[in-house]
């Protein structure tokens, strides 16, 4: 099931887009970290709560429906851990910054090891 063709996947992406849009708005308009965190609690937390309600409704029908069902189960299972980012102004809803920072080392490591692995055979 492709995200572009599934109505449920489109709806899930819509929730996520709203969360990111609100995050960007709050970052741009907040004068302090405390102001930002209060805005997150007031405006982002309810988006996550509505998303959880929607996911819970989808869960019983999607649990055996392949990738979408896996994504719903994963999100519900790790929701509380994901929400920990709301407690710190330095954190974001994803780990893209960390992954982008590590990527050159991982790609470089694989590139460096490949000739040695090939010559061992």
CB atoms within 10 A of CB 40: 21
Question: pLDDT per residue over 63-84, tens digit each?
Answer: 667 888 888 899 999 999 999 9
pTM over 0.85: no
Domain ranges of the chain: 7-91
Rounded to an integer, the average pLDDT of 4-19 is: 87
pLDDT above 90: percentage of residues in the chain: 53
Tell me: the pLDDT tens digits for 34-50?
Answer: 999 999 999 999 999 99
Distances (CA, A) of 32 to 39, 46, 73, 107: 11, 21, 36, 38
pLDDT-wise least confident of 10-19, 28-37, 99-108: 99-108
- Both tokens of residue 84? 């920990």
Neighbouring residues of 24: CB distance < 8 A, sequence distance ≥ 6: none
């Amino acid at each position: 099931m492709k995200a572009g063709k599934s109505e449920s996947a489109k709806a899930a992406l819509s929730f996520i887009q709203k969360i990111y849009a609100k995050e960007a708005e709050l970052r741009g308009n907040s004068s302090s970290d405390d102001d930002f965190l209060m805005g997150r609690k007031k405006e982002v937390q309810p988006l996550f709560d509505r998303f959880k309600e929607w996911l819970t409704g989808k869960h019983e029908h999607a649990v055996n429906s392949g990738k979408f069902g896996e994504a719903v189960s994963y999100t519900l299972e790790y929701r509380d851990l994901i929400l920990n980012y709301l407690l710190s102004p330095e954190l974001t809803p994803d780990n893209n910054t960390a992954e982008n920072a590590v990527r050159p080392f991982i790609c470089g490591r694989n590139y460096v090891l490949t000739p040695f692995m090939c010559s061992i055979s």
